[in-house]
Amino acid sequence: MKVIGITGGVGAGKTEILGYLQKRADCRVIIADQTAHELEKRGGACYDRIVALLGTEILSADGEIDRSKMAARIFADRDILNSVNGIVHPAVKEYIVDEIRKEQEKGVLRYLFIEAALLIEGGYDQIVDELWYIYADEQVRRERLKRSRGYSDEKTDSIMRRQMADEMFRRHCHVVIDNSKTLTYAYEQIDKKLGEDLCQRK
What would the pLDDT profile of 134-169 be if each residue is shown by its tens digit? 999 999 999 999 999 999 999 999 889 988 999 999
CATH classification of the domain holding 21: 3.40.50.300
3-state secondary structure of 30: strand
DSSP-assigned letter for residue 147: I
C-alpha–C-alpha distance, residues 26 and 35, integer Å: 21
Q: Tell whether 104 and 154 lie within a shared domain.
A: no
The answer, yes or no, to whether residue 200 has pLDDT greater than 60, is: no
Q: Point out the domain boundary residue: 109, 139, 172.
A: 109
Cα 69 from chain centroid?
22
What would the pLDDT profile of 179-199 be if each residue is shown by its tens digit? 999 999 999 999 999 987 776
C-alpha–C-alpha distance, residues 97 and 91, integer Å: 10
How would residue 118 be classed by pLDDT, with cut points 50, 70 and 90? confident
- Domain-embedded: residue 31: no
List of residues 6+ apart from 99 with CB closer than 8 A: 30, 112
The pLDDT value given to residue 133: 97
- Domain-embedded: residue 32: no
Q: Tell whether 156 and 179 lie within a shared domain.
A: yes
Question: Looking at residues 171-181, what average pLDDT do you find?
Answer: 95
Q: Point out the domain boundary residue: 45, 78, 109.
A: 109
The partner residues of 31 in beta bridges, in order of sequence, read 115
What would the pLDDT profile of 41-65 be if each residue is shown by its tens digit? 999 999 999 999 999 999 999 999 9
Domain that holds residue 48: 37-109
- Domain-embedded: residue 156: yes
The pLDDT value given to residue 199: 65
pTM: 0.90
The partner residues of 133 in beta bridges, in order of sequence, read 7, 176
- Domain-embedded: residue 175: yes
Average pLDDT, the chain: 93
Q: Tell whether 124 and 169 lie within a shared domain.
A: yes
Q: Point out the domain boundary residue: 109, 129, 164.
A: 109
How would residue 202 be classed by pLDDT, with cut points 50, 70 and 90? very low
- Domain-embedded: residue 13: yes
Query: Do the beta carbons of residue 127 and residue 100 sit within 8 Å?
Result: yes
Of residues 198 and 170, which shows the higher confidence score? 170
Q: Tell whether 163 and 145 lie within a shared domain.
A: yes
- Domain-embedded: residue 124: yes
Query: Do the beta carbons of residue 98 and residue 90 sit within 8 Å?
Result: no
